Amino acid sequence: MNREYFLTHTPLDFHFKQSPRDFVVEEIPLYEFSGVGEHLVIFVRKKDLSTWDMCSILANYLGINAREIGYAGLKDKNALTKQYISIHKKHEDKLRAFEHEKIKFLSFEYHANKIKLGHLKGNRFFVRLKKVNPTTSSIISQAVKSIKKLGMPNFFGFQRFGTDNDNYLKGKEILEGKRKEKNVKLKKLYINSYQSFLFNNWLSERIKFSRVIESFNEDEIKTLYDFKYIKEYKKQKHPFKVLDGDVLMHYPYGRVFYEELDKAVERFDQRDLSITGLLSGKKSYIAKDEAYFFEKDIDLKLNVDGARRYAWIYPHDVEYEYKENEAWGELHFSLPKGSYATVLLEEIAKREIN
């Protein structure tokens, strides 16, 4: 993948490695829990364990199937993470006696329903960057200000593509009938990875186009793109351009829809909506008119369900502090669900971080 960055500074040389000390994630629940019901909701702190690892440990301890444990999102293994899980309250007495060196229960409450995947608003992050000199810190500070003001592209992170970065190739081969995969979960993971690969390439192309609009005059742009609304695109203040025919979605959540270009631009500037990109497949909205120019190569009608994903997001409660004596930079920020902290760090660094 040829990842594009929207920030314009040169790549930065700092050190970041995911660890419980330097990477902390706290889940932001979608709603308040009712306090009554047959499900026990536990706020869990874990370290050096994936969510699946934790569920497996708890399931073995209780003598149940791990599928009986509800969770809203999969949290990183190489981090200190806090998230909500749900288990039937008949296990409460045994759970209150549970002890594990890498798992700690922070609170218990009740709710009527099992927590399901996706039932979260987002995540709050703490990240410590090391080997940061004063010059680099100054550039990081300006990058953070830009992200606070303008938002950032919502790429899928490297975690989506596997240790060898080839899961998307396996997904492509499965969809082309060149590869068989009996494991249903792995098959879905590989296909999702291919959808993510196509999305990331599309988003990079849109950033490149937006940069062309910002950098060249109308006549020069027309030699590259036979578009009707170039003048309107150049008038847009935001560096990521809304195109005629874009599929839009209310932000930070809501329905998918189309909007007239001038109204869409106004609402995008107000953060009332955002542009979406295609996760190729069935039952998904497809871009129209000039926006379809960038989507036509991923409108593959894959034999899986498709969807739309925010192309542009707005991190909130973003804070940066430099500790010169330790040569550390410390970041706090919140992201909507499905977005990656490492993508924000890569945008600041202008290079891959994994």
Predicted confidence (pLDDT) per residue in 9-19, tens digit? 999 999 999 99
Answer yes or no: 76 catalytic: yes
CA 89 to chain centre: 32
- Pairing mode, strands 80-88 and 23-29: parallel
pLDDT number for residue 301: 67
pLDDT number for residue 302: 74
HSE-up of residue 143 (Cα within 13 Å, Cβ side): 25
Q: Which 8-state DSSP code applies to residue 159? A: G
Class of the CATH domain delimited by 31-118: alpha beta
What residue spans of 18-99 are helical by DSSP H? 51-62, 92-96
Choose the weakest-confidence range: 69-73, 99-103, 156-160, 348-352: 156-160
Catalytic residue among 76, 246, 262, 272: 76
Whole-number average pLDDT of the chain: 94
pLDDT digit string, tens, across residues 276-304: 999 998 888 999 999 999 999 886 767 78
Domain ranges of the chain: 31-118, 152-313
User: Positive or negative CA dihedral for 93, 41, 25, 106?
Assistant: negative
Res. 336: pLDDT tops 90: yes
Of 41, 66, 63, 39, which is closest to residue 52 (Cα–Cα)? 66
pLDDT digit string, tens, across residues 305-334: 899 999 999 999 999 999 999 999 999 999
Of 280, 295, 3, which is closest to residue 154 (Cα–Cα)? 3
Taking residues 84-111, report their average pLDDT.
Answer: 97
DSSP3 helix / strand / coil % (the chain, rounded to 5):
35, 25, 40
The domain 152-313 is placed in CATH, from the list 3.40.50.1110, 3.30.2340.10, 3.40.50.300, 3.40.50.970, at: 3.30.2340.10
Taking residues 26-55, report their average pLDDT.
Answer: 95
d(CA 100, CA 57): 9
pLDDT number for residue 1: 62
Instruction: Tell me the three state secondary structure of residue 106.
Output: strand
